Amino acid sequence: MTTLSFRRSDFPEGFLFAAATSAYQIEGHAHGQAGRTHWDSFAAIPGKVVNGENGQIACDHYHRWPEDLDLLRDAGFDAYRFSTSWARVMPDGRKVNAEGLDFYDRLVDGMLERGLKPMATLYHWELPAALGLKGGWTIREIPERFAEFAHLIGNRLGDRLWSTAPINEPWCVAWLSHYLGQHAPGLSDLGAAGKAMHHVALAHGLAIEALRSTPAQNLGAVCNMEYAIPHGDGEADERAARTYDGIYNRWFPGAFLKGAYPEDILEGLAPHMPEGWQDDMKTISQPIDWFGVNYYTCQRLKATDGPWPAHDMVPGPLPKTDMGWEICPEGFDWLLRRTIRDYSGDLPLYVTENGMANPDRADVPDDARIAYLDAHVDIARAIAAEGLPLRGYTVWSLLDNYEWALGYGKRFGIVHVDFATQTRTPKASYHALARALAD
């Protein structure tokens, strides 16, 4: 497949097409006096990240951003979803590094000069290491510090940002990193996870509150979702899938948009949450202006006899991406509709990430990525055509980049990056998107 079957004109007027990246994954943290992050610390522990790779150089976007913004403009994107690194702006989590703020200033102006709407995410995972050492997301001080960072960014850039979301994928920040142990700080501890699951939600609320006193407008939230499928037919696997769905897809949307964590998940998690969490629900659920969903795949769940959450993930039969993730567009359809029905209602909804990793080999053309994007964009098209408030679609990612614990081997870019020379080469999917967006 070399062309996409949709055209921009198949979408309602004003539907936004965007591409996304994140700071630590592309910028090159060695430059500009950025502070050490907990991802630098995590990557330095043998066995945590493939080849011990980190984001010190990454795509050298810190120096090459004009070329990268040109690529976005030339493909015809309307918006660019990027993130601001807390450790670049506040190397120890508090003290301001003027060079870091200046970088984002130039970057945002560069977007506006090219007609790109700046969609900012304030936290895409690189916690300043100094705050990690204090206890990171397990302690209440971190959401409070984060609100200061949000305030600073809102005051400096808010007049030019098109939208701002405090935290990318709270599930990853809390559960993947403190219970599943796969991301920094790499904990596998329900006690830590229970605290992080609340403090990350609180950080969202405190940041929205702080941003409201700055020029920043159009404030939202970005949650990732995975479609949970019971492995077998029985009631036990159904419950396992429900629990997975609750932790993954209902916990943060419930808190942000309804002011309540899901009851079925509280049964397992409440004993591990910080005392007095109930008092924060109002802060966490203050009004936002839009909601974003990141979607990649589905997950099959099998019940176990172990302690809560008592489930294991098992591989499924669908074709898989280079991440080993099943390609499951029907889960995308189901989750977007359920999110609108049960959580976001009339709020503008955006797909804030979707895409696939493909191996970097001459004998693997980019067709699979084009087919993946086509199937998922078509679902967005159908939902928007029904008059539901889906207002945009964002591809992950503009560039091949640092794929966290999997290092530089997993390539999500619509633009190829040669990490030895930093040469950018648009892939077939980039050209296909540019053609689709032109009319």
At residue 201's C-alpha, the angle toward residues 18 and 394, to 5°, is 10
Binders in 366-425 for ligand FCB, by CB under 6 A: 396, 403-404, 412
- Min separation Cβ 119 and ligand FCB, Å: 13
> By CB under 6 A, how many residues form the interface with ligand FCB?
12
Binders in 224-243 for ligand FCB, by CB under 6 A: 224
CA-to-CA distance for 128 and 402, rounded, in angstroms?
18
Q: With 0-12 CB in 10 A as exposed, 13-18 as middle and 19+ as buried, what is 114?
A: middle
- Min separation Cβ 83 and ligand FCB, Å: 9
- Min separation Cβ 88 and ligand FCB, Å: 16
Q: Which residues are catalytic?
A: 169, 353
Q: State both tokens at 35.
A: 């502070």
Per-residue burial over 179-216, b if 16 or more Cβ lie within 10 Å, else e, is: bebebbbbbeebebbbbbbbbbbbbbbbbbbbbeebeb
Residue whose C-alpha is closest to residue 168's, from 200, 126, 123, 202: 123
Give the β-pairing of 79-83 and 16-20. Answer: parallel
- Min separation Cβ 25 and ligand FCB, Å: 6
Stretch that binds ligand FCB, among 153-161, 166-174, 366-374, 418-426 (CB under 6 A): 166-174
CA-to-CA distance for 418 and 438, rounded, in angstroms?
27
DSSP string over 184-217: TT----HHHHHHHHHHHHHHHHHHHHHHTTSS--
Q: Are 433 and 56 in contact (CB under 8 A)?
A: no
Give the β-pairing of 311-314 and 290-303. Answer: antiparallel
Stretch that binds ligand FCB, among 27-35, 165-173, 226-234, 330-338 (CB under 6 A): 165-173
- Min separation Cβ 254 and ligand FCB, Å: 20
SS3 133: helix
Q: Which one-letter amino acid corresponds to residue 284?
A: I
Peptide bond into 397 cis (omega under 30): yes
Among 27, 53, 68, 169, binds ligand FCB (CB under 6 A): 169
Binders in 336-355 for ligand FCB, by CB under 6 A: 353
CA-to-CA distance for 146 and 210, rounded, in angstroms?
10
Site string for ligand FCB, 181-220 (x = CB under 6 A): ----------------------------------------
DSSP string over 68-114: HHHHHHHHT-SEEEEE--HHHHSTTSSS--HHHHHHHHHHHHHHHHT
Nearer to ligand FCB, 25 or 214 (CB): 25
- Min separation Cβ 169 and ligand FCB, Å: 5
- Min separation Cβ 296 and ligand FCB, Å: 6
Nearer to ligand FCB, 179 or 404 (CB): 404
CA-to-CA distance for 19 and 414, rounded, in angstroms?
9
User: Residue 168 interacts with ligand FCB (CB under 6 A)?
Assistant: yes
Among 4, 22, 145, 243, binds ligand FCB (CB under 6 A): 22
- Min separation Cβ 123 and ligand FCB, Å: 11
Nearer to ligand FCB, 68 or 353 (CB): 353
SS3 359: coil
Stretch that binds ligand FCB, among 129-137, 148-156, 167-175, 334-342 (CB under 6 A): 167-175
Stretch that binds ligand FCB, among 90-98, 140-148, 168-176, 193-201 (CB under 6 A): 168-176
Binders in 90-149 for ligand FCB, by CB under 6 A: none
Binders in 306-325 for ligand FCB, by CB under 6 A: none
Binders in 277-296 for ligand FCB, by CB under 6 A: 294
Nearer to ligand FCB, 326 or 403 (CB): 403
Stretch that binds ligand FCB, among 164-172, 236-244, 276-284, 417-425 (CB under 6 A): 164-172
At residue 50's C-alpha, the angle toward residues 45 and 56, to 5°, is 70
Residues that bind ligand FCB (CB under 6 A): 22, 25, 168-169, 172, 224, 294, 353, 396, 403-404, 412
